[in-house]
Structure formats: structure tokens, C-alpha cells
Amino acid sequence: MIEIDDLTDLVNPVVIAAFEGWNDAAESASQVVAHLMAVWDATVVGAIDPEEFYDFQVNRPMVSTDDNGHRRLIWPTTQIAVASPPNLDRDVILIRGIEPNMRWRQFCAELLAACDELGGELVVTLGALLADTPHTRPIPVTGTATEPDLVDRLKLEQSTYEGPTGIVGVFQDACDRLDIPSVSYWAAVPHYVAQPPCPKATLALIGQIEDLLGASIPLGDLPEEARAWERGVDELAEEDEDIAEYVQALEETRDTTDLPEASGEAIAREFERYLKRSRGEEPD
């Protein structure tokens, strides 16, 4: 079991989790949690024992040198951190790690037991997949929930996906079996630029978390990094006629299939979020 450092009681904590690997196209989802840990000054309070869950020939330990010149070995693992964002009336539990190679059910059980010990009330999982979407348009994010009241309140969907799944799907199923309310957000990353990072997708997922929490999240350099990423892909397309034609075809398909009213709502919601951020207010 995960040993949790001694803590004072957390206030109505929400769990936000992401895992590197199959569920994490261009590392878009795991970078959300990394960003939240940084901007919210999160404190790591526990970690999975990697010996039980990772194949070290697949996920190898890393050797590094610290500031004092000492050599240290860093094992692959999944960490649990806690944060108290200054503009939230609740605490946050952050889970970031690597999709395990074995014992997935035990892995999920240990993480959820730790979340229960910390008082977690809602679990939010993040994922990213490669899709036929153009880099020049807003990154699509799909949100699903296991409970009908969450579906209605957050205007989400109940998942109808059938097929192979990763640790995010197994983790959400474990929540459902334990009657833990859970939400999952997935960003669609353009498959022709699959190499990490994809700050535009990371920003899209953060926007969903802002809406869920009803609070602005400091973005730091992410907006400029997203613009630089898009400019870089533009240059790539300009140098390759086949890619340029393919992107244009994706744009036409996207613009044709998107409902005008849905696009208008998305634009209005993003603009309202921008205005509230600039005025220092909280999103509804």
C-alpha cells in the first residue's frame, strides 16, 4: 500500500490524474498535471512502489547528478501530490505517473485507496489520442462521466467507446465499481504531429479543468508555446505540398462537420474565459 505523509485534513479535494504512455498522445495529458503541480506549488505525499508494477526493461530507471554532484537513481513510478490553489475553496490531489506494465487492478486499487485516505470526492482523469484533426483549428476535447447527474450538470456524455483501453479506462472503471464519481477529458491531437510536446492540446485540457473547478489556472508560458508550436507546424506544411494539401482537406472536413451554433458557443465560452482571466475574475 502507498504510505501517505502526515497531512492536515484536506478540504473537499478533487483528484486530477494523468498517466504517460498509451493514453497520452504527445504527452499532452501528463503535461497538464506537471503544469498544475508547478503553478499550484504541489507537495508530493506518496508514490507507488515501482517494483510491483513496472518492467524495468521497458521503463528503465534513470541516473542523474544532483546540485551537490551526488549521483542518484530515479525509478519509474506514479506520484501523488496535494495542492491548495489560492483561488479555490477546495484542495486538489494530483496523480502523475506512467502506465504500469503489470497488475493494473492492484495499481488502481492502491491509488484509489490513497485518494480515499486523503478524502478525494471526485476523480478527473485526463487523456490524449491521435486523431484526424487539423492543427489550425481548436483542439477537440471530449468529456465523459460515469454518473448521469455529472453528465447533466457538466454537459458531458456517457462513453459509448468499445475497444482496447489503457490505464485511464481501467482507472475510471475502478472508480465506477467503487461508486466514486468520475469524469474523463480526452484531447484529440493531430496525428501528423504526434511527437511531444503539444502545448495546444495541454491548454485545451486545462480549459476544461477551469470550467470544472470554476477557477482560473495560471498559464505561464503555455499560450506562447502553443502559438510557437502552431507556427512550427505551419512551416512544416509550407515545406511539404502533400502535408499542406492534407491539412487543407482536414480543415474543410472539420469546418463542414462542425455545427455553426456549436462552434459559436465554443468561441463565446473561450472569449468569456479570456475576459474573466484578464479581469482577475473566476469562470462560472
| Residue 41: φ, ψ to 5° | 50, 55
Evaluate whether 124 touches 183 at the Cβ level (below 8 Å). Answer: yes
- CATH topology assigned to domain 14-278: Rossmann fold (3.40.50)
Give pLDDT tens digits for 190-219: 999 999 999 999 999 999 999 999 999 999
Evaluate whether 216 touches 151 at the Cβ level (below 8 Å). Answer: no
CA dist., res. 254 & res. 258, Å (int): 6
Q: In this prediction, what percent of the chain has a pLDDT beyond 70?
A: 90
CA dist., res. 145 & res. 45, Å (int): 27
Give pLDDT tens digits for 149-184: 888 888 888 888 889 999 999 999 999 999 999 999
CB atoms within 10 A of CB 76: 20
User: Read out DSSP for 132-153?
Assistant: S--TTSPPPEEEEESSHHHHHH
Residue 182 CA to its chain's centroid (Å): 14
Q: In this prediction, what percent of the chain has a pLDDT beyond 90?
A: 75
Which residues are paired to 144 by β-bridges?
157, 184
In which residue are the cell numbers 506512467 written? 98
Peptide bond before 190: cis, by omega within 30 degrees of 0? Answer: no
Evaluate if residue 263 carries a pLDDT over 70.
no
Q: How far is CA 41 from CA 7, 38, 106, 189, 202, in A?
A: 16, 5, 29, 28, 19
9 burial level (CB within 10 Å; 0-12, 13-18, 19+): exposed
Give pLDDT tens digits for 68-114: 889 999 999 999 999 999 999 999 999 999 999 999 999 999 999 99
- Domain extents in the chain: 14-278
**Predicted local distance difference test score (pLDDT) of residue 125:** 98
Q: What is the pTM of this model?
A: 0.88
